[in-house]
Structure 1
Amino acid sequence: MTAAAVVLTLLAVWLWTGPDPGTLRLARLLRRDRADPRPRRWWPSRASWPAGRAEAWRAASAELCQGLAAELAAGRTAGEALTRAVAAAALPDPVAFRSVIAAARDGGDVPAALLAAAPDRGGEGLRRLAVCWQASATAGGGLSVLVDRVAASLREAEAHRRDVATQLAGARATARLLAGLPALGLLMAAGLGMRPFGFLFGGPAGAGCLVLGAALDGCGLWWTHRLVTRAEQA
């Protein structure tokens, strides 16, 4: 029991005095930027989650706009450039872009196809591209210049989102740490022979304390998640 208490105490000290979570998050981001932009994954991807899917669509939109700007700068026509850019981009749902490719090849309504393919979350870049395409077709402006500006704005927005995520990583990690401290305290008390689980599960008073503590802990996690989510959306 004494050895277990010592180990748990050392673990708590390491959690409080270890590296800053924001620093660790920034280091992981830098390593990911230097690595392959599409690394092989051997575990379920976050792209299946709503937030992860929106992030994947934003990254794909920026890649599509950059590729389209490069193809237009190379002298290709708008339809051919869009077809090649779509084929080269890593789209989360390539099937949704079949209508875009068909409109680009056959001279159809490309802005309408882009708006139809853009998801509600993460499709801001595609909607901007549709507006640029419509403005170029209506006013006769240079599509290459407009697309290049959209690509630059998407890169700036992605850099801002990463900066916000890095700054909020510390708040998330601190909230998780504080939420787990009661369980760590129970384990340490059990290691010292105080029998906290017997009290919590041995009578109405203990059960009430357990339910109240779990409810307050859950409310704290929910409130912190809500604050962080609002900060990310802002």
Structure 2
Amino acid sequence: MELVAAVAAGLAAWVACGPSPERVRLRELTSPPATPIWRGWPAGAIVRLRRLAWPGRAGKEADAWRKACIELCQALMAELTAGRSAEDALCRAVTAVAPPEPAVLRPVAAAARDGGDVPAALAEAARTPGAEGLRRLAACWRVSTAVGGSLTELVEGVIVALRESEAHRRDLAAQLAGPRATVRLLAGLPVLGILMAVGLGMDPLGFLFGGPAGFACLLAGAALDVAGVVWIRRMVAAAERTAST
């Protein structure tokens, strides 16, 4: 029984302090698939559970990209207002912002400097999660080139739209803070319950692993907990998709 308790404690510590899901996914993509599938399913299930409970660094990078897009448009409008050409203004605006991955915007600056297809470069950069606002800037560039409209006014409209979208996103994030906290609570509730039972002098591990009834309760509780986490996460994702459309 002491061995089972030690293994359970080790698994809990590994889930809490282990590598991030992004690093695990990168390792899976860069390593050869030599391990049989049936051996890797527990780790994959734990990684999926961690992704559901903790979104990780991807959400922060997407937020940083949204902020960078707004700053890029503001810098571009400032350069255009100063009387610079559209291409020169875009090159200066790209160097004035600090996105999470500067290499994504380098093709945009190169296209503007060398007379390339700027809308196509902006559309390609907009494929980065969080940089979707660059598609609007690409559309404004096409309209200004084809029709001859004022790029300054179009960029100003993009800035207003991006600011309103970001304000709406923050309001939605505040409203969904409760469900996200519930997901984290559900993810850690089983371990907390076991620790509370041990603190009260009980033997929860002995009951859970000591017979068919306890093992059935363990499986049922784990299944219900995972189902609750998945269900709430899908509700949050559906609300975010509905608000973004």
Whether TM-score is above 0.5 comes out as yes
CA spacing shift, 1:203–1:50, aligned 2, 3 Å:
same
Q: Which amino acid aligns with 1:119?
A: R
Tell me, yes or no, if structure 1 residue 227 matches structure 2 residue 238. Answer: no
Q: What residue number does 2:139 align with?
A: 131
CA spacing shift, 1:177–1:113, aligned 2, 3 Å:
closer
User: Number of residues paired by the alignment?
Assistant: 189
C-alpha separation in 1, matches of 2:189 and 2:104: 46
Q: What residue number does 1:36 align with?
A: none
CA spacing shift, 1:50–1:131, aligned 2, 3 Å:
same
Q: Which amino acid aligns with 2:160?
A: A
Q: Which amino acid aligns with 2:239?
A: A
C-alpha separation in 2, matches of 1:230 and 1:183: 29
Q: What residue number does 1:99 align with?
A: 107
Superposition pairs of residues 1-234 of structure 1, within 5 angstroms: 49-234=57-242
Question: Which stretch of structure 1 is more off in the superposition, 210-219 or 192-201?
Answer: 192-201
C-alpha separation in 2, matches of 1:110 and 1:170: 42
Structure 1 counterpart SS, 2:111: helix
Displacement of 1:124 in angstroms is: 1.9
C-alpha separation in 1, matches of 2:108 and 2:80: 17
Deviations 1:33-87 (A, max 9, x none): xxxxxxxxxxxxx998443333222221111011101111111111111011000
User: 5+ residue gaps in structure 2?
Assistant: 1-53
C-alpha separation in 2, matches of 1:145 and 1:185: 59
Cα contact 1:60–1:91 (8 A) shared by 2: yes
User: 5+ residue gaps in structure 1?
Assistant: 1-45
Cα contact 2:186–2:229 (8 A) shared by 1: no
Q: What residue number does 1:17 align with?
A: none
Q: What residue number does 1:14 align with?
A: none
Q: Runs ≥4 in structure 1, deviation > 6 angstroms?
A: none
Displacement of 1:227 in angstroms is: 0.7
Question: Which stretch of structure 1 is more off in the superposition, 172-181 or 101-110?
Answer: 172-181
Displacement of 1:194 in angstroms is: 3.2
C-alpha separation in 2, matches of 1:118 and 1:195: 55
Cα contact 1:111–1:133 (8 A) shared by 2: yes
Identity of aligned residues (%): 61
Cα contact 1:99–1:113 (8 A) shared by 2: yes
Displacement of 1:178 in angstroms is: 4.4
C-alpha separation in 2, matches of 1:47 and 1:137: 40
TM-score scaled by length of structure 2: 0.70
C-alpha separation in 2, matches of 1:110 and 1:230: 34
Cα contact 2:176–2:236 (8 A) shared by 1: yes
RMSD: 2.2
Displacement of 1:88 in angstroms is: 0.7
